[in-house]
Structure 1
Amino acid sequence: MLKQQLRAISSLLSSITLIGICVGMTSTLLSLRAAIENFGTLTTGVIMSAYFIGFLFGTTRAPKDIRRVGYIRAFGGLAALAAATILIQAIWVDPTVWFIMRFLTGFAISAIFVIVESWLNTMADNKNRGTLLSVYLVLIYGGLVAGQLILGVADPSGFIAFAIAALLINLALIPILISVTVEPTTHEAKKVPILSLLRLVPLGIVNAFIMQACYAMFYGIGPMYAIYIGLSVGEVSLFMASFILGGMLAQAPIGLLSDRFDRRVIMAVCAGLGSVMALILSQLGASVVWLIYLCVCLFGASVLPLYSLGMAHTNDYLEKDQMVGATGAIIKVGGVGSIIGAPAVAALMQFGAVNYFFLLIMMLTIIVCLYSLYRVTRRAKADEQLTSSYAMLNPSQTSDELLTSLVDEHEYQVALAGQESETEDTKKESSPV
């Protein structure tokens, strides 16, 4: 059964792998090119944050647009938009143009994730949904790693690297446009206010905000930091690839541990190890490249699973009808953290605090570690933790099931009122006169 489903969605998985390669290339490519063009770290941080602004906007707006035009046509249009924005950045090397294009790229990529993950959830059932999503996420991480390696042999100062990224997106159109899979449908979900979630599961909100800020810092400013300490362009690509590879390899083992033990303890251990790795990395220079790669890999293995751990921990304390809405709220909070993260660390580096890049990340992960341990002392472990088992989630990633919670509350209430009205009419018709 699983093999048949994998064959049925092979075209979909092929498309998203190519998209993952492109996403892995563009973030590092733009950071390197910005350094070459002397944009400055603060300007670069603001440009990089535009992607997350667009991503957050896409998660709130794209589901409505997709419902109007359909999933296949939406995928085609969004992929074309993403390819065009990348090419425009190669033609007009200007901070303002890059900010606008980076915003549009984030919007397009977030909407593409909506389409792909909705498709996967439609094809899956309760017995194999976790397996299918795991395959999907491994391909995403594999694509991100491959994107870094491709960038290592392409000159970021020229046009070719941008052209390769745009070409990959266009190639991603082919498998999904010839797919015969039925388009997925969407369902409404119960909305959960962020303040209510903060009172109910504060660790989930704090973890999402801090970790997404850390991810934005590393993806957006990490390549510039690597250049500052003396790494070449090829070494920078391996630097970034090592981080992603570590997270890819550690996701599943750490997830299994979190299903068996208190997730908050696992979160504290991961954040603590991430802090140690960040401290070591802050003291390393280009003379020990192999050690940098090893530590960055361990750093990624420690911090990348934290977002998924926090999501699973949040669901441990929620009712079934709250989970989708709560995830939407966490996506919003994490999006705000992503928007703030890159410009914040870039501002520090702009004013001479370059050496504090990893030290700042260390401080943030220490906060997650200590707060996780504090929450252990304030509340008992969830009684039915295994019922909301850990699922690998890519940071800043969305799905249609998650995003239905972001649809206007007014629309949901109108639909609910209509259903109640129909029920009342049925009762009147069936009642004796």
Structure 2
Amino acid sequence: MSRNLLPVLALLTGTLFLFLGNGLQGLLLPLRGTLEGYSNETLGLLGTTWAAGFVIGCFVAPNVVRRIGHVRAFSGFLALICLNVLLTGLLVDQAAWLTLRAITGFCTAGTSMIIESWLNERATPENRGTIFSFYISITLFGVVGGQMLVPFSDVTTTTLFMICGILYSVAALPTTLSKAASPQPLKRAKLDLRGLFRNSPISCIGILLIGIANGAYGTLAAVFASRAGLSQGAVAAMVTITIFAGAIMQFPAGRLSDRMDRRHVLAGLSAAAALAGLVVAMVRPTDAYGIIVLVAIYGAAANALYPIAVAHANDFAAPEDFVKVSGGLLLLYGIGTIIGPTLGGPVMSWAGPYALFLVTAIAHILITAYAIFRSRQRAPVPAEHRDAYSVAPAATSPMTTPEGIALDPRSVPAEGTSEDRRN
């Protein structure tokens, strides 16, 4: 294993610091915004603008990299992210925060695409799976590690913003100082949303709704916890347990979906996430322990949905179309993460912080109903012709990029794969 990772160890080290900064900043902003008296609508828009910037970056960043090269582009994107987080700590202003957050989302897409393309080029058929799994683990522990830094300092000061800037600065060093040759130019994924819908309606509609639920929760969970009276440490613990519960649930959910109709697994998990959300919204627990337990159940079910929906779409697609199918689903997920916080903020202002889980519950109920409906419209793919389930990056981190999709071992089709998936 060490032999497989040694050539990309420096790059993965920089990736860890990048996601430490992402995790810290992602939790710090809603907590500080809540203390500053920002409205739920404004706090929701912090997630909306970041997601919009990220989606735009996936299309525009490749052109920037082609013009100035990988190393210069990577350093420039990270410099902007570092500058933005420091300005966010100095300029405590709603309009400034929204603008800076959009720029950060754009630059995050650029840095992620460069890292993932670099890893993709260094990967071989023998070590691709190892590198891909290690990369997903780093994104998970990076985001969680960054979030757990929050309780160690006062969010009303600039200290955590400065620490975040330090993390981003360190992230630039391994790639900037590397002697390795730059990877090939980034490629834009060719998308066909109409064909994707014909291929798998439930995956398209389901992932859009998953994006809405995850976008609303991911942006506003800290706001909900703060307004529910949880301490700074309890807020960090609640957000972290959601990610860990989702990561642990990936494997049993994936094995189950390999043995039965994936649409039934989608329906069951969505129903569980909806039920957990409705209990939080209706019971309105006030003690930290009760909230964390319910949110852990919610996170386990909700965060296992995305990779199962991707695997189901690939069950009906030709192996060589993996990148195109996953890229289209990524775009739909990105659109959902733009819609979710935009809806969640006003709903929380209208019905209280616990109403956040009404937004997620409605999305998951719709997934359940549509998955059951679609399971009666088309027979499942026979087990021997199904796509192999794999943990998707978006299941453990806010978003991935087309380059991250290309890094997935499933993007390299096996020889002699049956064409029966098309039927």
Displacement of 1:81 in angstroms is 0.8
Residues 309, 124 of structure 1: alpha-carbon distance in 2 compared, 3 angstrom cutoff: same
1:396 matched to 2:395? The reply is no
Mapping of residues 20-169 of structure 1, within 5 Å: 20-169=19-168
Residues 84, 59 of structure 1: alpha-carbon distance in 2 compared, 3 angstrom cutoff: same
Mapping of residues 374-389 of structure 1, within 5 Å: 374-383=373-382, 385-389=385-389
Deviation sequence 1:369-423 (CA, Å, 0-9, x none): 221222211112124544454342224211326589xxxxxxxxxxxxxxxxxxx
Query: Bigger shift: 169-178 or 351-360?
Result: 351-360
Aligned to 2:230: 231
Displacement of 1:64 in angstroms is 1.8
CA distance in 2: counterparts of 1:27 and 1:253, whole angstroms: 28
CA contact (8 A) 1:51 1:105 kept: yes
Aligned to 1:261: 260
1:244 matched to 2:243? The reply is yes
CA distance in 2: counterparts of 1:26 and 1:401, whole angstroms: 22
Structure 1 residue ranges without an equivalent (≥5)? 405-433
CA contact (8 A) 1:110 1:398 kept: yes
Mapping of residues 399-410 of structure 1, within 5 Å: 399-400=402-403, 402=405
Deviation sequence 1:290-310 (CA, Å, 0-9, x none): 232222222212111211221
CA contact (8 A) 1:227 1:236 kept: yes
Percent identical residues: 27
Deviation sequence 1:254-273 (CA, Å, 0-9, x none): 23333333222222222122
Residues 202, 259 of structure 1: alpha-carbon distance in 2 compared, 3 angstrom cutoff: same
Q: Counterpart of 1:351 in structure 2: which amino acid?
A: W
Mapping of residues 412-431 of structure 1, within 5 Å: none
CA contact (8 A) 1:52 1:339 kept: yes
**SS of 2:287's equivalent?**
helix
CA distance in 2: counterparts of 1:121 and 1:262, whole angstroms: 32
Displacement of 1:107 in angstroms is 0.6
CA contact (8 A) 1:324 1:401 kept: no
CA distance in 2: counterparts of 1:337 and 1:372, whole angstroms: 18
RMSD over aligned Cα atoms: 2.1
Displacement of 1:77 in angstroms is 1.1
Residues 280, 299 of structure 1: alpha-carbon distance in 2 compared, 3 angstrom cutoff: same
Aligned to 1:11: 10
Residues 24, 197 of structure 1: alpha-carbon distance in 2 compared, 3 angstrom cutoff: same
Aligned to 2:416: none
Mapping of residues 255-334 of structure 1, within 5 Å: 255-283=254-282, 287-334=286-333
Aligned residues: 403
Larger radius of gyration: 1
Residues 187, 236 of structure 1: alpha-carbon distance in 2 compared, 3 angstrom cutoff: closer
CA distance in 1: counterparts of 2:286 and 2:47, whole angstroms: 29
Q: Counterpart of 2:209 in structure 1: which amino acid?
A: I
CA contact (8 A) 2:207 2:329 kept: yes
Residues 129, 386 of structure 1: alpha-carbon distance in 2 compared, 3 angstrom cutoff: farther
CA distance in 1: counterparts of 2:17 and 2:75, whole angstroms: 14
**SS of 1:131's equivalent?**
helix
1:335 matched to 2:334? The reply is yes
CA distance in 1: counterparts of 2:100 and 2:187, whole angstroms: 32
Displacement of 1:233 in angstroms is 1.3
Q: Counterpart of 2:248 in structure 1: which amino acid?
A: L
Q: Counterpart of 1:295 in structure 2: which amino acid?
A: L
CA contact (8 A) 1:53 1:339 kept: yes
Aligned to 1:412: none
Query: Bigger shift: 17-26 or 251-260?
Result: 251-260
The two structures have a TM-score, normalised by structure 2, of 0.89
CA distance in 1: counterparts of 2:33 and 2:152, whole angstroms: 18
Q: Counterpart of 1:393 in structure 2: which amino acid?
A: P
CA distance in 1: counterparts of 2:133 and 2:303, whole angstroms: 15
Q: Counterpart of 2:403 in structure 1: which amino acid?
A: D
**SS of 2:74's equivalent?**
helix
Q: Counterpart of 1:306 in structure 2: which amino acid?
A: L
CA distance in 2: counterparts of 1:20 and 1:168, whole angstroms: 9
